[in-house]
């Protein structure tokens, strides 16, 4: 039976709620790997620290306690053990900053998946290489995700974000919500006659309709819907796209070229007469 075990701290980080579950990078999987490494290498995990935050963030409640708090010092703790280096950080500069802070406290930073060897020049090169690969992987995933969304948007498909009033998200597509669509039609009916944003809001409020949060429709909510007219006409635009494209969602109102400023001028002139 092993004696004189070295005291260590176990650190777990997950970046999403999904990872908090029992998957290959989940909390339990990381904890088991750390416990196994400790048992095989003469360490005992005395304390555990967990963060649920992105690996590119430099402000983490639990890891900040390890780095800057008074509860993790040597003695009695000689190492911080994590599942992989990218659990510490996915940004190379951030990782080496954390490594530096811990070394100032005379505490080792250990990964169960990468053997960096002795703390010499080569180990730093290897650490840097592993972190660079992890950082590039993260960037590539972001690029692929953004590229996929852009391609989907260019084909009129819903590419992400909150569903505009009048629609809901179903199977990653915008689907009409009948009750909300009725409100949208009523608002544009008032606006297309030259009515003001406030008049449109009062019309739907008096009809008994409310916004999604249960509050009254007001000037700003109606303006937001008006500015999305092309979407309600069956077109779609995402992010930095220059032009609207035919959307895959069902249109709520008919396409029309409307100049609301001219409509209001004409209405004022008519009332003056």
pLDDT tens-digit map of 42-69: 999 999 999 998 877 777 899 999 998 8
Query: pLDDT over 90 for what percent of the chain?
Result: 46
**Where does the pLDDT of residue 89 fall: very low under 50, low under 70, confident under 90, or very high at 90 and above?**
confident
Which domains, and CATH codes, for the chain? 6-138 (3.40.50.1390), 158-272 (3.90.1750.20)
Q: How confident is the model at residue 77 (pLDDT cuts 50, 70, 90)?
A: very high
pLDDT value, residue 143: 62
pLDDT exceeds 70 at position 76:
yes
Q: For 148-159, how does the pLDDT look when each residue is reduced to its tens digit (9 = 90+)?
A: 666 666 677 787
Pair 60, 53: CB distance under 8 Å: yes
pLDDT > 60? residue 22: no
User: Within a 13 Å sphere around the CA of 163, how many CA atoms are in the beta-carbon half?
Assistant: 17
**Using the 8-state DSSP alphabet, how is residue 119 labeled?**
S
Does position 123 have pLDDT exceeding 80, yes or no? no
Helix (H) or strand (E) holding 81: strand 79-82
pLDDT band at residue 271 using 50, 70 and 90 as cut-offs:
low
Select from 182, 271, 175, 273 the least CA-distant residue to 225: 182
Higher confidence at residue 117 or residue 68? Answer: 68
Q: What is the pLDDT of residue 1?
A: 42
**pLDDT tens, residue by residue, 189-236:** 999 988 999 999 999 999 999 998 889 999 899 999 999 899 999 999
Least confident of 26-40, 52-66, 251-265: 251-265
Rounded distance, CA 209 to CA 216, Å? Answer: 8
């Amino acid at each position: 039976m092993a004696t004189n075990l070295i005291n260590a701290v176990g650190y777990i980080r997950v970046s999403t709620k999904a990872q908090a579950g029992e998957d290959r990078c989940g909390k339990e999987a990381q904890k088991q790997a750390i416990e196994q490494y400790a048992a095989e290498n003469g360490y005992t995990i005395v304390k555990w620290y967990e963060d649920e935050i992105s690996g590119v963030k430099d402000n983490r409640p639990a890891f900040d306690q390890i780095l800057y708090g008074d509860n993790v010092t040597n003695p009695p703790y000689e190492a911080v053990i994590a599942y992989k280096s990218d659990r510490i950080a996915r940004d190379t500069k951030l990782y080496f900053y954390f490594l530096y802070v811990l070394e100032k406290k005379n505490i080792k930073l250990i990964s169960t998946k990468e053997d960096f060897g002795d703390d010499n020049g080569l180990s730093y090169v290897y650490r840097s290489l592993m972190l660079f690969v992890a950082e590039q992987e993260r960037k590539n995933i972001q690029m692929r995700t953004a590229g996929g969304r852009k391609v989907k948007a260019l084909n009129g498909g819903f590419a992400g974000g909150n569903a505009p009033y009048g629609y809901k998200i179903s199977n990653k597509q915008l689907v009409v919500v009948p009750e909300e669509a009725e409100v949208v039609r009523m608002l544009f009916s008032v606006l297309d006659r030259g009515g003001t944003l406030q008049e449109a809001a009062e019309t739907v409020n008096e009809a008994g309709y409310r916004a999604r949060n249960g509050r009254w429709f007001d000037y700003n909510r109606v303006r937001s819907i008006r500015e999305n007219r092309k979407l309600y006409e069956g077109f779609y635009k995402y992010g930095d796209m220059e032009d609207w494209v035919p959307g895959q969602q069902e249109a709520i109102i008919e396409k029309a070229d409307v100049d609301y400023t001219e409509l209001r001028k004409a209405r004022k002139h008519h009332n003056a007469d």
